[in-house]
Amino acid sequence: MEIRGASAIVTGGASGIGAATARRLAKRGAKVVVADLNADAGQQLAQEIDGVFVPVDVTDTAQIEAAVNAAIELAPLKALVNSAGIGSAQRTIGRDGEFASAHNIDVYKKVIAINLIGTFDAVRLAATAMSRNDPGEDKDRGAIVNLASVAAFDGQIGQAAYSSSKGGVVGMTLPVARDLSAAGIRLNTIAPGLIDTPIYGSGPESDAFKAKLGESVLFPKRLGVPDELASMVEELLTNSYMNAEVVRVDGGIRMP
Ligand code: NAD
């Protein structure tokens, strides 16, 4: 699928995997809408890539609509990348047996609202706009990539909210791809392993956590870098024969 001259929305585009993706899509000739909560970083990136920043909280349907409208104003919307996301809470909760209090229900609902429902809502609204596109020579009206996680298949202590949300993103892949195929829109999901981004926070504790997890990568024994994910996003968007797939990009990690 050709994205040169089309518009593309990247939710969570101000940081990490989303920012690397926004840079790649811009380099490939798309007009990129960076849709993120973080206005400072989002605006800076939009300026760098000659794109547009739209302040978006993905839990707010009207704000997603604003991003879709901004994209359509630039050019036909042909790509959506859902990279907005947050982690769970502490990584040690649950060890003391206080499961209910450790898994605060408000935190659980928040993670589901952003990572799962926000992703679905953006798919819903962007796909509606894409379905109005003229099909190109390859018959693609548009393509969507959602960011899940290997946590969808794994079960680390304290990660119930995150794993549930990412399991939902994996779970929607086939049924939504089936729904959208009728309109000539493809949807694929990436399940990243451990990618070195601000999602892990900063400081000695997070450095130690990342170093330990790097050891569980089969090869290479390191965290991934955002562009290693962005290149897969680009492939899934532009390869017209990729549909309804969940692709792990994780160095063969097996979580401890
Ligand atoms: P990141 O923290 O670097 O970037 C996430 C971006 O999402 C930030 O810019 C943040 O402002 C934005 N965001 C958060 N909540 C939002 C909301 N409600 N509305 C709009 N924007 C919001 O994280 P990342 O590591 O680049 O993660 C990108 C995606 O990949 C996430 O969905 C994450 O769960 C997933 N993922 C990351 C890793 C990893 O190891 N980094 C692993 C597996 C999956």
Q: In this structure, are residues 189 and 145 in contact, taking their beta carbons and an 8 Å threshold?
A: yes
Sheet holding 246-249, edge to edge: 52-55, 31-36, 7-11, 77-82, 142-147, 185-192, 246-249
Report which ligand 1 atom has the smallest distance to the Cα of 195. 40
Tell me the C-alpha distance between 104 and 127, whole Å: 34
Please confirm, yes or no, whether 241 is among the known catalytic residues: no
C-alpha angle 33/223/24, rounded to 5°? 25
Q: Is 180 exposed, middle or buried (0-12, 13-18, 19+ CB in 10 A)?
A: buried
Distance 116 CA to ligand 1 centre (A): 12
> Encoding tokens for residue 220?
């290479």
Report which ligand 1 atom has the smallest distance to the Cα of 166. 34
pTM attached to this predicted model: 0.97
Q: 108, 162, 200, 241: which is the annotated catalytic residue?
A: 162
Residue nearest to atom 17 of ligand 1 (CA): 57
Ligand 1 pocket test target in 120, 165, 197 with most atoms within 8 Å of CB:
197
Distance 85 CA to ligand 1 centre (A): 4
Residue nearest to atom 3 of ligand 1 (CA): 16
Q: Which fold is adopted by the domain 7-249? A: Rossmann fold (3.40.50)
Measured CA distances, 106 to 101, 113, 118, 233 (Å): 11, 10, 16, 31
Q: Identify the bridge partners of residue 35 per DSSP, sorted by sequence position.
A: 11, 54
Q: Where are the domains of the chain?
A: 7-249
Q: In this structure, are residues 149 and 159 in contact, taking their beta carbons and an 8 Å threshold?
A: no
Question: How much is the ipTM here?
Answer: 0.99
In tens digits, the chain (256 residues) has pLDDT values of 999 999 999 999 999 999 999 999 999 999 999 999 999 999 999 999 999 999 999 999 999 999 999 999 999 999 999 999 999 865 555 456 677 777 889 999 999 999 999 999 999 999 999 999 998 777 899 999 999 999 999 988 888 999 999 999 999 999 999 999 999 999 999 999 999 999 888 888 888 888 888 889 999 999 999 999 999 999 999 999 999 999 999 999 987 7
Q: Is the Cβ atom of 197 under 6 angstroms away from ligand 1? A: yes
